Amino acid sequence: MSESVDGPPRADKADAPDQSSPSKLAETLVDTGDAQRADNPALRLLSRIEWVLLYGTALVLLLVGAVVLVLTVAEAFRGNLAVPDRLILVIEDLLLVLIIMEIFVTVLASLRGARFMLEPFLLVAVIAVVRHILSLVVRLSVVQTEAEVRTRLVELVVDAGVVVALVAALVVNRWSTRRHTGD
């Protein structure tokens, strides 16, 4: 909590509201300037449901990320693919873990009361497109017809364009954030 010069203490962005009791939740909502929400039992109930769902989502994301990581490591050592193909699949799976963890971090930020952030979604999108590019490269290594190869190459060009656009959006977002905060 930080002291406001003009009034009551306000919750910092990183402070999650204390919901150990309805009265503490109401105090937190009043402290953050949302007195109407604190007085409305339906909104308090919806707020509690939101927090339960966010905590549940965070837990499931953490578990899924851990399972994917363990399975990836196990598959890396016992797979029957050639080493280069196995490495590509391991990299794809590790990128999937990164996607899961980026979403997990976004959920945690929401639990801590942070405002909506665009950057994690752009990063997830970049990682997802890179994963797709890797799978296209693997599929191109398998003997195919000329038409299939042409289709895969077009997909690669489109994916490369998407990565460039997403990275440009990421740069603009970071520039805008720095300009807005004065850094």
Q: What is the pLDDT along the chain (183 residues), one digit of tens a residue?
A: 444 444 434 444 444 444 444 444 444 544 454 555 567 888 888 888 988 998 999 999 999 999 999 999 988 888 777 777 788 788 888 988 988 998 898 888 888 887 778 888 888 899 899 888 988 887 787 767 888 888 989 999 999 999 999 999 999 988 888 877 765
User: Collapsing DSSP states into helix, strand and coil, what is residue 8?
Assistant: coil
State phi, psi for 7 to the nearest 5 degrees: -170, -150
Helix 119-141 to helix 146-181 angle, to the nearest 10 degrees?
A: 160
Distances from the Cα of 103 to the Cαs of 25, 60, 65, 159, in angstroms?
A: 26, 11, 10, 22
Query: What is the predicted pLDDT for the residue at 88?
Result: 79
In sequence order, the 6+-apart residues with CB closer than 8 A to the CB of 111 are: 16, 51, 54, 55, 58
CB 103 within 8 A of CB 124: yes
Query: What is the predicted pLDDT for the residue at 34?
Result: 56
CB 159 within 8 A of CB 129: yes
